[in-house]
């Protein structure tokens, strides 16, 4: 899914929630050509079978606790108690090698990390 906008997280195509999975090769190729400099996103939940636990801290205690307590399949914001979002049905996540266009991490690429629980 091509993403852009001021925060680099806004879908650049319409009906992104209704896109089928697996992605249609022809429409994906057209999106890549049309939005060649766009960030990359994945629709989470039932369309893709992907659930993302977006943890905005490197505190290993928080990471392990969240994985143990909240492995659910629904979109949930656990803030302010935890700096964590669970992205599932009805969500969209930005993935590497997308670049942050603004803010304190401007110009830095998103990346996957392996956490202390041994999961990526």
What pTM was estimated for this model as a whole?
A: 0.66
Within-domain flag for 7 = yes
Neighbours of 18 (CB within 10 A): 8
Domain extent, residue 75, equals 2-95
pLDDT tens, residue by residue, 38-95: 998 888 887 777 778 788 887 888 877 877 776 666 667 778 887 888 888 778 889 8
Residue 75: closest CA among 117, 111, 95, 46: 46
Within-domain flag for 109 = no
Q: What is the pLDDT of residue 53?
A: 77
CA–CA gap between residue 66 and residue 47 (Å, rounded): 24
Q: How many domains does the chain have?
A: 1
Within-domain flag for 106 = no
Q: Identify which has the larger pLDDT, 29 or 35.
A: 35
Within-domain flag for 111 = no
Within-domain flag for 101 = no
Within-domain flag for 116 = no
Residue 86: closest CA among 95, 98, 73, 96: 73
Within-domain flag for 61 = yes
Within-domain flag for 102 = no
């Amino acid at each position: 899914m091509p993403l852009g906008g001021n925060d680099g997280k806004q879908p650049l195509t319409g009906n992104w929630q209704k896109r089928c999975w697996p992605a249609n090769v022809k429409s994906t190729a057209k999106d890549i050509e049309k939005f060649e400099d766009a960030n990359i996103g994945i629709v989470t939940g039932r369309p893709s079978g992907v659930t993302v636990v977006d943890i905005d801290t490197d505190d290993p205690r928080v990471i392990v606790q969240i994985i143990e307590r909240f492995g659910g399949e629904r979109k949930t914001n656990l803030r302010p108690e935890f700096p964590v979002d669970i992205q599932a049905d009805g969500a969209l996540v930005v993935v590497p090698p997308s670049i942050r266009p603004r803010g304190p991490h401007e110009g830095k690429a998103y990346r996957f990390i392996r956490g202390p629980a041994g999961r990526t």
